[in-house]
Amino acid sequence: MSFIVFYCFLLFFIDFLFSVKLLIKKSLLQFFICFKQLIFKYYGAVYVNKNYATENLINMTESSIDELLNWVISVDRRLILMESMKRHTFVRASDVAHEASRSTQNISHALKELESKELIQCLTPDKTTWKKYALTDTGKKVLAKLDGKYL
């Protein structure tokens, strides 16, 4: 049991350090949101009443997914990008732009927006051009809610 607690603490500490990196890169508000999610994630893992913690985590996740869903549908370039992600495992800005008859800059902007919300991740971050992107687990959940209703 103590190994599990130690392991959870270690994971929490690593994620905390990543959150501090966010503080330097982004705003203080985003840092506290990340920190709150970490507390839920790891405190819930070792909390005695696991059902309570799991329910709170599920509710928090569902409301987060709904917020992200609303955020995506509020701008058409995000919807276009999510629709392309539905059809393709990996996408590049130029390919989506060509399919949708949009500018590469417009789609690149959408890619950066979705990446900042952790809906997609760059598979080739070292490259400066021709970057490939794929959906994250959160992105897949949002896409599942979009599918059939908005796409």
Q: Which residue has the higher pLDDT, 114 or 40?
A: 114
Tell me the pTM. 0.60
Backbone angles phi, psi at 35, to 5 degrees: -65, -40
Q: Using pLDDT thresholds of 50, 70 and 90, give the confidence band for residue 133.
A: very high
Lookup: tokens for 99: 């399919």
The CA–CA distances, whole Å, from 54 to 42, 50, 61 equal: 11, 6, 10
Give me the pLDDT at residue 49, please.
Answer: 42
Given a cut of 80, is residue 108 above it in pLDDT?
Answer: yes
Architecture of the domain spanning 75-146: Orthogonal Bundle (1.10)
Average pLDDT, the chain: 78
Among 27-36, 67-76, 81-90, the least confident range: 27-36
Give me the pLDDT at residue 17, please.
Answer: 60
Q: What is the mean pLDDT of residues 90-116?
A: 96
Given a cut of 50, is residue 116 above it in pLDDT?
Answer: yes
Give me the pLDDT at residue 131, please.
Answer: 95
Task: Tell me which range, 14-23, 44-53, 61-70, 122-131, is most confidently predicted by mean pLDDT.
Answer: 122-131
